[in-house]
Amino acid sequence: MDPSPLPAAVTAALPLPMPQWSYQVILVRLALALALGLLLGLERERRGKEAGLRTFGFLALLGALGGSLGTGYALLALTLTAILAVLLNVHSLRQGEGVELTTSAAMFVTSMAGVLCGMGHTITPASVMVTSTALLAWKERLAGFSMGLTEGELRSALLLAILAIVIYPALPVGAVGPWKIVEPRAAWITVILIASIGFINYILWKLYGARGIELSGLFGGLVNSNFTVIEMTTRVRESQGRFAPVAYRGIVVALCAMLGRNATLLLILAPMALLESVGAFALMLGAGGAMAVLAHLRASDADAHETTDLKLTLPFSLQVALKYGALFLLLHMAGILMQRQFGEAGFYVVTLIGGLLSSASAVAAAASMASQGEISPLVAGHGAVIASLTSLAFSFSFVLRSGDRKLVRQLATAMIVIAAAGGLGVLLASVLRALLGPWIEAISTM
């Protein structure tokens, strides 16, 4: 006699699927879910939580099995996770330890990530679980950062969110104006991008502080390399030259940070323009980085851990937004008009002047023009290199005010080497283009 079947209500609600699973496919899905669950569980285990390594591993596997079997079983896995979270909190309350809200939320995230793994997703659950683990691991640091957040910093963050989420969608699409040379959305993306770089840098500064001159130069250079040079040369003058060896390292790092920021702007806004100038930026960054490392190795014990207290103001405010927006639009419009009137020479003149005001805005304007087809990626790449070199020269004018001849001589040498490396990169790219251009065209026409 056949065994009694399951109740009809159960089989109707959760019909057992009969998928033709590939062994390798399901094994990879379960392995990914288990690895992600163990990653988050490891953090909970280290903190001595009741739900630790094995619990989160089981939750991820439960979700993966539910996701593999179908929607009904995925919901069942989440329901079982909810029951487990309730039991965990009841136990915690009986022990007098309070409610485990964070661990409960992590359990739901783990189970849902397992469901995604079971459905065949990879990048999404992996990124969610890595981010969740980071949030748990950085509990004290994030709590300290939020408690130390000032009202002005909070207003700056809200303003940045308003500019990105509220104002940007309301801007008109496409070029506007009588000459059709301005795209409001493209300009606003640049403003948000530059401001976001400064804001992220400010957060890192708040988290890590001025731990060493190299870190100070890196953070300061990302915001404003000229400001960093002014601060460090002022310290040299106030210390009557004793701060000069330390300032040299910090200024070189700040200049490298400026070059890296400009290259990143090209990568985001006009990747082809960066491809045309990658040799120049790579050689400039390599030369500057080599000199910074060499100076660090030669540093004495007395100044090895020297810091400089850069007085970073709020990285983002309405005034900063208006300044970047106005400067970008001015350079963008002037670059297009000069390029139309005088060709590439006119664009290079505008870029040269723009590099004195803000190399980031000049590079962003060149990249925007390239993305709109006003100039070629090659011209935009060369313009970005010119703006960066102009910024180097402008920074040197502040070094002269330090009054320290040795520092002036060292930084003059460093900037000449970086500039020569940039020129060599442009020259080598031109030679390679001339040699390989016919071959590439012949291959593309085959």
Instruction: Pick 181 or 260 by higher pLDDT.
Output: 260
3-state percent breakdown (helix, strand, coil) of the chain, nearest 5: 80, 0, 20
Asked if 173 and 234 sit in the same domain, the reply is yes
Does the pLDDT of residue 437 top 90, yes or no?
no
The Cα angle at residue 114 between residues 109 and 120, in degrees rounded to 5 = 130
**CA–CA separation, 293 and 304 (whole Å):** 12
State the angle between helix axes of 359-371 and 318-342 in degrees (0 to 180), rounded to the nearest 10.
Answer: 50
Mean of all residue pLDDT scores within the chain: 79
The per-residue pLDDT for 20 is 63
Assigned token pair, 72: 């009904």
The per-residue pLDDT for 362 is 83
Asked if 128 and 163 sit in the same domain, the reply is no
State the angle between helix axes of 271-298 and 377-399 in degrees (0 to 180), rounded to the nearest 10.
Answer: 30
Q: How far lies 94's CA from each of 45, 55, 91, 312, in Å?
A: 21, 20, 5, 49
Last residue of a domain, one of 86, 109, 137: 137
Q: What is the DSSP letter of 221?
A: H
How many domains does the structure of the chain reveal? 2
Q: What is the DSSP letter of 34?
A: H
Asked if 133 and 173 sit in the same domain, the reply is no
Asked whether residue 185 is domain-assigned, the answer is yes
Asked if 211 and 87 sit in the same domain, the reply is no
The mean-pLDDT minimum among 11-15, 75-79, 339-343 falls in: 11-15
Asked if 120 and 154 sit in the same domain, the reply is no
Asked whether residue 143 is domain-assigned, the answer is no
**Average pLDDT, integer, range 98-116:** 90
Highest mean pLDDT among 15-24, 103-112, 225-234: 103-112
Phi, psi of 182 (to 5 degrees): -125, 125
Does the pLDDT of residue 148 top 80, yes or no?
no
pLDDT digits (tens, 9 = 90+) for 152-166: 677 777 777 887 888
* Residues constituting the chain: 446
Assigned token pair, 156: 């700056």
3 state DSSP class of 176: strand
Does the pLDDT of residue 204 top 90, yes or no?
no
Asked whether residue 145 is domain-assigned, the answer is no
Instruction: Pick 18 or 411 by higher pLDDT.
Output: 411
Assigned token pair, 94: 């009986």
**Average pLDDT, integer, range 287-302:** 79
**Average pLDDT, integer, range 244-256:** 85
pLDDT digits (tens, 9 = 90+) for 117-141: 999 899 999 999 999 998 888 887 7
**CA–CA separation, 213 and 309 (whole Å):** 9
**CA–CA separation, 313 and 133 (whole Å):** 31
The per-residue pLDDT for 118 is 92
The Cα angle at residue 175 between residues 173 and 180, in degrees rounded to 5 = 165
**CA–CA separation, 109 and 337 (whole Å):** 53
Asked whether residue 294 is domain-assigned, the answer is yes
Does the pLDDT of residue 200 top 60, yes or no?
yes
Q: Chain centroid to CA 376: how far?
A: 26
Assigned token pair, 190: 């640049």
Residue 5 banded pLDDT, cuts 50, 70, 90: very low
Q: Among 426, 279, 269, 251, which residue's Cα sits nearest to residue 348?
A: 426
Whether residue 255 contacts residue 225, with contact meaning beta carbons closer than 8 Å, is answered with: yes
Asked whether residue 142 is domain-assigned, the answer is no
3 state DSSP class of 182: strand
Q: How far lies 403's CA from each of 174, 254, 400, in Å?
A: 51, 20, 6
Parent domain of 41: 8-137
User: What is the identity of the amino acid at 204?
Assistant: L
The per-residue pLDDT for 375 is 86
The per-residue pLDDT for 210 is 45
Give the CA radius of gyration of the chain: 28
The mean-pLDDT minimum among 57-61, 124-128, 202-206 falls in: 202-206
The mean-pLDDT minimum among 63-72, 185-194, 249-258 falls in: 185-194
Q: pLDDT > 90: what percent of the chain?
A: 19
Asked if 128 and 156 sit in the same domain, the reply is no
Whether residue 245 contacts residue 306, with contact meaning beta carbons closer than 8 Å, is answered with: no
The per-residue pLDDT for 319 is 67
Asked whether residue 202 is domain-assigned, the answer is yes
Last residue of a domain, one of 107, 137, 167: 137
The Cα angle at residue 261 between residues 205 and 183, in degrees rounded to 5 = 115
pLDDT digits (tens, 9 = 90+) for 310-350: 455 555 556 656 666 676 677 767 777 776 777 778 888 88
3 state DSSP class of 91: helix
The mean-pLDDT minimum among 79-83, 218-222, 420-424, 428-432 falls in: 218-222
Answering whether pTM is above 0.85, one says no
